[in-house]
Amino acid sequence: MMTKHVTTFLSTVTFLASVTAANAEEIKIGTGGLSEDYPNAIVPAISEALQEYGYTAVANTAGSHQENLDNLLSGTMPVALSPLDVVALNMTAEKDPDESLLLIGGKMVPEALFCVAYKGNNVLSYDDLTDDQETPIKISVGEENSTTARTFQRLMTLDPDLKKIKLFYKENTRIELNRLLSGRRDLVCFVARANPEHELIKRVMKQDDLFFISINHPSFANAKIGNIRLYDIQEIPVSKGIFGFNPKTVKTLVTWVGVVVNETQVDNKLLDALDIVVRKPDLLSKTLVTKAKRLFDKVKSRVEEVVDY
């Protein structure tokens, strides 16, 4: 008899949960520019947490983070996930004169800037990008509205000496690495998860004549959006090491994916719900995103211990 009652109770709870989800208001969250595991992990987690407040969420995949922000500014999308530096490029008097964009969750998952050079070439460090050169340094940064391209556009506003470069906008970064080897590029850059298991990171680490340069200009660490820093300069793991110890690292910029809304497109109830949900410390605890972040934090802490010592 007890088993029957428990089964009935669980069935009732399941039924009520399904009814709640069915009656919830659906909101779209722009996820353009993120690798597939991000929207597949973050948006469902947000959606599940929002059900308590009468909402569900679905991912709307655009072509890039900039397209996400364009959709927000035009009012065709109420919410988006985007790196902080791309958000900062759009929260300006020119792009957002009505101050409709609002960052409500600034540090969900880390993304890092990786720049690949060829050994024996004329680019060995960030300083080479700002030195006087006979011809501009040729840097591949993905598509014109890609996260990497927008990141470089932001960096060029922070370091005036970085303007002595020529950006190349090509979609296929793997092919651009071949152009680097053939001498048609001096540097190939991409923004990606701070995870040594990333496909492009593994591709570079397997080739002895390629290496990641440091991106560590101090002005970048001072850039902010409001009171939130856009970048941290950190040692990022580019290999797993032996049993997790002594991984190879590169000092570079880390930014964070945050949640941005168009205040004119969301009511106060949804705004409050999103603010509560995205700040939950366990929101992404069951996702691959969190596993990648834990690996990043684990290696980062080990590097800091060595530096402190």
Give 111-138 pLDDT, tens digit per residue: 899 999 999 888 999 999 988 878 899 9
Longest C-alpha distance within the chain, in Å? 86
* pLDDT for 134: 81
Euclidean distance between CA atoms 204 and 116, whole angstroms: 8
Is 188 contained in some domain? yes
Is 187 contained in some domain? yes
**Average pLDDT rounded to a whole number, residues 290-305:** 52
Is 82 contained in some domain? yes
Is 140 contained in some domain? yes
* pLDDT for 194: 82
Label residue 308 by pLDDT band (50, 70, 90).
Answer: very low
Q: Are 258 and 81 in contact (CB under 8 A)?
A: yes
50 shares a domain with 137 = no
The per-residue pLDDT of the chain, averaged, comes to 84
174 shares a domain with 127 = yes
Q: What is the pLDDT of residues 11-29, one digit of tens each?
A: 443 433 444 455 789 999 9
* pLDDT for 253: 95
pLDDT, greater one: 193 or 267: 267
Q: What is the pLDDT of residues 50-108, one digit of tens each?
A: 999 999 999 988 888 899 899 999 999 999 999 999 999 999 999 999 999 999 987 88
> Which residues are CB-neighbours of 149 under 8 A, at least 6 positions away?
141, 142, 143, 167, 169
Euclidean distance between CA atoms 214 and 217, whole angstroms: 9
Kindly report the three-state secondary structure assignment for every residue of 219-259: HHHCCEECCEECCEEEEEECCCCECCECCCEEEEEEEEEEE
Euclidean distance between CA atoms 193 and 87, whole angstroms: 18
What is the span of the domain harbouring residue 131?
Answer: 111-256
Is 222 contained in some domain? yes
282 shares a domain with 190 = no
Structure tokens at 14: 């399941």
Angle, helices 268-278/37-50, rounded to nearest 10 degrees? 120
249 shares a domain with 123 = yes
Structure tokens at 110: 């880390």
Q: What does the DSSP assignment read for 97-148?
A: TT--EEEEEEEEEEEEEEEEEETTSS--STHHHHS--SS-EEEE-SSTTSHH
Q: Which range has highest mean pLDDT (85-94, 284-293, 295-304)?
A: 85-94
* pLDDT for 35: 67
- In the chain, the number of structural domains is 2
* pLDDT for 193: 83
- pTM value is 0.82
Distances (CA, A) of 221 to 90, 153, 154, 215: 19, 16, 13, 11
DSSP 32: T
130 shares a domain with 84 = no
Structure tokens at 197: 């298991």
Residue 243 has pLDDT above 80, yes or no: no
216 shares a domain with 134 = yes
* pLDDT for 10: 39
Structure tokens at 44: 């469902």
Burial class (CB in 10 A: 0-12, 13-18, 19+), 238: buried
287 shares a domain with 194 = no
Label residue 36 by pLDDT band (50, 70, 90).
Answer: low
Euclidean distance between CA atoms 156 and 129, whole angstroms: 11
CATH code assigned at 104:
3.40.190.10
204 shares a domain with 148 = yes
Side-chain half-sphere exposure of 6, counting CA atoms within 13 A:
3
Q: Residue 116 forms beta bridges with which residues?
A: 188, 212
244 shares a domain with 119 = yes
Is 298 contained in some domain? no
Structure tokens at 78: 């109420």
144 shares a domain with 240 = yes
Label residue 201 by pLDDT band (50, 70, 90).
Answer: very high
* pLDDT for 283: 86
138 shares a domain with 232 = yes
**Average pLDDT rounded to a whole number, residues 282-291:** 68
Q: What is the pLDDT of residues 161-197, one digit of tens each?
A: 887 899 999 999 999 999 999 999 999 999 998 888 8
Euclidean distance between CA atoms 55 and 28, whole angstroms: 11
Structure tokens at 27: 């909101």
Report the percentage of the chain scoring pLDDT > 70: 82
120 shares a domain with 87 = no
Euclidean distance between CA atoms 77 and 193, whole angstroms: 25
Is 301 contained in some domain? no
Is 309 contained in some domain? no
